[in-house]
Amino acid sequence: MTRLLDAAAAGDRRAATDLLPLVYDELRKLAATRMANESPEHTLQPTALVHEAYLRLHGPTDDTRWENRGHFFAAAAEAMRRILVDAARRKRREKHGGQIERVDLPDIPGRDPDDRLLALDDALTRLAAEDPVAARVVELRQFAGLGHDAVAAALGITVYAARQKWTFARAWLRDAISQHF
């Protein structure tokens, strides 16, 4: 391994290629240890960290010679640290979100459908006191599923009047129900 390290440091690409399988598992363990100390929101995976560190160690302009195996892994650990620091600095830049903090929103339970039905019933009762025909139009449209023609025939009014009552009732009910919620 020391000979491969020397040859790779001297620029021998074949030695660098032969070196990776020998050190990969140890570099992966080192990366996993480094990543365990990172926040869970970190997007860099240990494998990507190993590959980036290896590329930095054997980059095209790298003229570093490692004295031994320990020196190589110390350099790899330093490269991983720098990669993680660079990634953290990049995230803090304004164009990447700057100082924006992630906030988890609490789950807010939805309104109970029964509450909405009870509010509609209450509002419909008040509408019937003000305009009984409009209240009947709502009942026939909402609960019987009738169209304007069928509503008009059932109530003995024109289709135009049924549409007017429907439009009025919808607006009136929207205001009345919004007071409940």
> What is the pLDDT, as a whole number, of residue 160?
97
Q: Domain check: are 18 and 88 in the same one?
A: yes
Judge whether 103 lies within some domain. Answer: no
Instruction: Give the domain range for residue 30.
Output: 2-96
User: Of the candidates 123, 111, 129, 125, which has an alpha carbon nearest to the alpha carbon of residue 170?
Assistant: 123
d(CA 29, CA 110): 46
> What is the pLDDT, as a whole number, of residue 48?
83
Domain boundary among 67, 96, 125: 96
The CATH code of the domain that includes 167 is 1.10.10.10
Q: Domain check: are 120 and 81 in the same one?
A: no
Asked whether 48 and 84 are in contact (CB, 8 A), the reply is no
> What is the pLDDT, as a whole number, of residue 27?
80
User: Of the candidates 175, 146, 178, which has an alpha carbon nearest to the alpha carbon of residue 162?
Assistant: 146
Q: Give the total number of structural domains in the chain.
A: 2
Tokens of 32: 């996993």
Total Cβ atoms within 10 A of residue 80: 24
> What is the pLDDT, as a whole number, of residue 26?
80
Asked whether 64 and 110 are in contact (CB, 8 A), the reply is no
Q: What is the pLDDT of residues 53-84, one digit of tens each?
A: 877 776 655 555 666 677 777 777 788 888 88
Q: For tokens 């995976």, what's the residue?
A: 45
The CATH code of the domain that includes 67 is 1.10.1740
Residues of the chain with pLDDT under 50: none
Q: Domain check: are 89 and 121 in the same one?
A: no
Q: Domain check: are 174 and 145 in the same one?
A: yes
d(CA 180, CA 147): 28
